[in-house]
Amino acid sequence: MMIYLMCLVLFCIGLYCIVIKRNLIKIIIGIGIVHYAVNLAFILVAYRFKGRAPINAPGQVIENMVDPLPQALVLTAIVIGLAVTALIVAIAVRIYEKYGTFDITKIRRLKG
């Protein structure tokens, strides 16, 4: 229970950064922290005490392994998170070219 709460605190730190900060790069950093918290929460659910990694070894019969299903989900989620981060950074670079600043309050006022 305590460990789930610590993972949730990490998520809330990222959420606070997305809502409060004005610099566009800080918002991207907040999104990255939210990615880490969510991936960690999946793997925390899948852990079993005294379990072993889900890989068979030759000549051994392994009795208890940790849950392999959330690991398969998170494996693709990590690589998708990287591609989405690259997309947001590309959009931020284009915004900087057009408006000359990364400040989100000024981007609303300059039109045209």
Partner 1 sequence: MNNEPERPGMTLIVKTITRLTVGLILLFGIYIVLHGHITPGGGFAGGVIIALSFIHLMLAFGKELALKKVSEAQASFFESLGAILFLSIAILGFVGGYFFLNFFLKGEPFRLFSAGIIPLCNIAICLKVGAGLFAVFVALVLLKGIGEKGK
Partner 2 sequence: MLELYIILLFMIIGAIIAVQIKDLLSSVIAVGAVGLGLSVAFLLLKAPDLAITQLVVEILCLIILIRATIKRDIPSIRERSGWLAMFATLAFIGLFLLFAYFSLKDLPQFGHPIMRVANNYLKQGLKETGAANIVTSVILDFRAYDTLGEATVLFTAVIGVLAVLRRIGRKKPGEVVREDE
Give the type of residue at 2: M
Q: What are phi and psi of 58, to 5 degrees?
A: -70, 130
Nearest approach in angstroms of CB 64 to partner 2 is: 9
As a dihedral over the C-alpha atoms of residue 45, residue 36, residue 80, residue 91, rounded to 10 degrees, the angle is: 150
Residues 6 or more apart in contact with residue 107 via CB below 8 angstroms? 95, 99, 101
Task: Tell me if 110 contacts partner 2 by CB under 8 A.
Answer: no
Residues 8-47, mask of contacts with partner 1 (x by CB under 8 A): ----------------------------------------
Chain residues that interact with partner 1, rule: CB under 8 A: 53, 55-56, 58, 75-76, 78-79, 82-83, 86, 89-90, 93, 96-97, 100
